[in-house]
Structure 1
């Protein structure tokens, strides 16, 4: 069995038992122990490397693609595998691992490799916006600003730097007026700190912004969170972690296959934690069961 391994050595916090420099050797040995006869490894150094690695794997012929990285790395690799029918194996290696946690994947590298090789193939939906795919969450507003700060102003990875980025953006980011159109329904206008279009449930670390979202139901869960005041944060912040965020007064939730989000000023968007150019209007469309991924 030929396995193409793609590793982002810079993603997520450093693991004591698997130093960054040893990630390729560690996973390669584990893959061979689970039946891989040939392992072709690629180490990414920047944006686009994961995409090229998948293209080369497809051209050369491969039985399985396995990726070690965070949600951003998974987004790039999975985007290149859409519609191929090949199963993607995932070794979670990011700061939050929202996609892998939502899929129920083990977070320990050894267990994740076992699932990547011997788990069950599951076909999940993907989203498309402005020609770019996403697989977990796409957000406009405060959460995109947090992602941009975390990605560009932090040398460290992990939960603590992410929380720090949230607090720093919270002090200055102002809510916006969003117009949200769901399928062919009348547009909804709402004041919100951010709007997130969800294929999956969570940002990572159990922070479930869309607790009822399913990866294979053919539709998005849309969540608009109102102005995050100190009072709301103290009274309701815990609800993000126990699956009751939709119960917070003022939180808007809906489901749709096609979503249009518009606002007066140009705002950046994050797709699975990676931030892209600012715009004033975006159309989100679901692509049912377009990615095959290995799950427990």
Structure 2
């Protein structure tokens, strides 16, 4: 896909003021609007903390902007992606969260000032989206002990002191040590159910890479497959081994982990509801959980290198010129 196919002109910015690194923005939402307009874009910056996020999503969906810009973490990007897929708009991402997994996958600068310089050079990339019971996700949905660990992390949002970090690590290791097995019925593409006893299970949109120092990174976002990661006998010592393997880029062959692929998955449980972590956000979902992949359903702006495209010849002009 050539970068000249699609242009961002008018941006509807969904700014999440609670995101992990939103404090690194220089100034107020008005300053962000001014900076975007100085770069040649028309921008509406929605930082309305009095409205629910669902209301703000509806406003973005109904706007005449061609692009929804998610200014926040991975949860904000997922919400904005749902708007983009529903409305046919483009998605752009200003990574302001803690993990910024999608932003890293797209090759985006994590510093807002550098990102503003990078913005005119971004090119469109068509990527897959996952769905669970109709809900869109971009990275993964996890069940088991993972949502509880994510909830613990959420309580420390905004705290970067060493005491808070050590407290979280202690909490995470205790949750892993106490992790219980639970039974699920898992049905993949062939329609034959299989009973598993697991401690945790994640369904990912495409497959994670194995590279030195890369944590849950994906270079391929359009392979058209879900990847199932199942942990069935993880101990605290095993979690340290697995964490080291992730850092070293040799983790998907770990003895505690099973990896499978599918186009669709259904998970049944004796529980009517399960806690899940959906792209970093913890919530409760009704069972069964039905997962599917929608190939190349979302167009998102990415760095040229991450999109496999040459950089624009004249970025400043390309950002504002009609296709």
Same-fold call, TM > 0.5?
yes
Aligned residue number for residue 149 of structure 1:
152
The TM-score, its normalising length taken from structure 2, stands at 0.78
Verify the 8 A CA contact 1:141 1:193 in the aligned structure 2.
yes
Aligned residue number for residue 10 of structure 1:
18
Equivalent of 1:274 in 277, 281, 286: 281
Verify the 8 A CA contact 1:48 1:76 in the aligned structure 2.
no
Deviation at 1:43, TM superposition (A): 0.6
Cα gap change, 1:181/1:212 in structure 2, threshold over 3 Å: closer, same or farther? farther
For structure 1, the 5+ residue unaligned runs are none
Equivalent of 1:180 in 186, 193, 200: 186
Cα gap change, 1:98/1:44 in structure 2, threshold over 3 Å: closer, same or farther? farther
Aligned residue number for residue 123 of structure 1:
126
Name the CA distance, whole Å, in 1 between partners of 2:144 and 2:281: 13
Name the CA distance, whole Å, in 2 between partners of 1:48 and 1:155: 20
Aligned residue number for residue 110 of structure 2:
107
| Greater strand share, structure number | 1
Alignment coverage as a number of residue pairs: 286
Matches within 5 A, 1:116-265: 116-151=119-154, 153-156=155-158, 160=165, 163=169, 165-184=171-190, 186-199=192-205, 201=208, 206-208=214-216, 214-265=220-271
Verify the 8 A CA contact 1:30 1:110 in the aligned structure 2.
no
The TM-score, its normalising length taken from structure 1, stands at 0.84
Cα gap change, 1:247/1:44 in structure 2, threshold over 3 Å: closer, same or farther? farther
Name the CA distance, whole Å, in 1 between partners of 2:46 and 2:15: 6
| Structure 2 residue matching 1:246: 3-state secondary structure | coil
- Give RMSD over aligned pairs: 2.8
Name the CA distance, whole Å, in 2 between partners of 1:217 and 1:106: 24
| Structure 1 residue matching 2:107: 3-state secondary structure | coil
Cα gap change, 1:213/1:75 in structure 2, threshold over 3 Å: closer, same or farther? same
Name the CA distance, whole Å, in 2 between partners of 1:238 and 1:215: 25
Which structure has the greater CA radius of gyration? 2
Name the CA distance, whole Å, in 2 between partners of 1:95 and 1:108: 12
Name the CA distance, whole Å, in 1 between partners of 2:48 and 2:245: 37
